[in-house]
């Protein structure tokens, strides 16, 4: 598995990964009916560095990194990770997050913050904990899950 900066020609493959995640509406606070143009403009926006994980020419996952805040908060980064539906269980998210942590350090970021980890996304919560993140906040019932109804979201943080 190889991780590299996303290129414009990766857009269709990235869309094939992020569309099902957006449509499911279970893990990201994005409009579930977001159209392709808007979703790609978001995921590949000029405020972000976007990466893809690929193996044998197939894109398995993608992530972005950006400053979590401007001004006095710009030394902490934020990332979003999505793995292709066909690639789950192969350690793609772990590899992308390890890459992100190393990349963030190389960029001089002093911390990485996830602002909104849906509490029912236990797989992600456990993975982030294994990779050194701590739960620094619990937001009560702030996410309306299409299956579970109103559930908490977590703020997770790691100093770098």
Q: Which is nearer to a second copy, 54 or 152 (CB)?
A: 152
Contact with a second copy (CB under 8 A): which of 50, 68, 83, 121? 68
Q: Which residues inside 71-100 make contact with a second copy, applying CB under 8 A?
A: 71-76
Residue 135 pairs in a beta bridge with 156
**CB neighbour list of residue 104: distance below 8 Å, 6 or more residues apart:** 65, 77, 79, 112, 160
Binding mask 6-35 for a second copy (x = CB under 8 A): -------------------x--xxxxx---
Stretch that binds a second copy, among 51-59, 100-108, 122-130, 146-154 (CB under 8 A): 146-154
- Distance from C-alpha of 86 to C-alpha of 154, rounded to nearest angstrom: 26
| Minimum distance, C-beta of residue 4 to a second copy, in the bound complex (Å) | 29
Q: Which stretch binds a second copy (CB under 8 A): 55-63, 68-76, 80-88, 94-102?
A: 68-76
Q: Interface with a second copy includes 108 (CB under 8 A)? A: no
**Of 69 and 94, which has the nearer Cβ to a second copy?**
69
Residue with Cβ nearer a second copy (57 or 71): 71
The distance in angstroms from the start CA to the end CA of the chain is: 24
111 lines the binding site for a second copy (CB under 8 A): yes
Contacts of 21 (CB under 8 A, 6+ apart): 27, 28, 82
Number of residues that bind a second copy (CB under 8 A): 37
The conformation of residue 29, written as its DSSP 8-state character, comes to: -
Stretch that binds a second copy, among 13-21, 85-93, 97-105, 106-114 (CB under 8 A): 106-114
Helix (H) or strand (E) holding 38: helix 36-43
Q: Please, what's the largest Cα pairwise distance for the chain?
A: 42
| φ, ψ of residue 50 in degrees (nearest 5) | -115, 135
């Amino acid at each position: 598995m190889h991780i590299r900066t996303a290129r414009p020609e990766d857009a269709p493959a990235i869309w094939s990964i992020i569309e099902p995640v957006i449509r499911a509406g279970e893990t990201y606070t994005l409009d579930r009916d977001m159209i392709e143009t808007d979703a790609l403009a978001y995921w590949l926006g000029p405020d972000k560095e976007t990466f893809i994980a690929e193996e044998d020419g197939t894109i398995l996952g993608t992530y972005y990194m950006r400053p979590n805040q401007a001004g006095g908060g710009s030394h902490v980064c934020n990332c979003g990770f999505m793995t292709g539906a066909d690639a789950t269980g192969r350690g793609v998210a772990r590899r992308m997050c390890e890459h992100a942590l190393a990349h963030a350090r190389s960029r001089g970021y002093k911390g990485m913050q996830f602002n909104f980890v849906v509490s029912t996304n236990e797989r992600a919560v456990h993975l982030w904990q294994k990779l050194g993140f701590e739960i620094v906040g619990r937001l009560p019932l702030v996410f309306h899950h299409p299956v579970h109804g109103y559930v908490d979201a977590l703020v997770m943080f790691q100093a770098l």
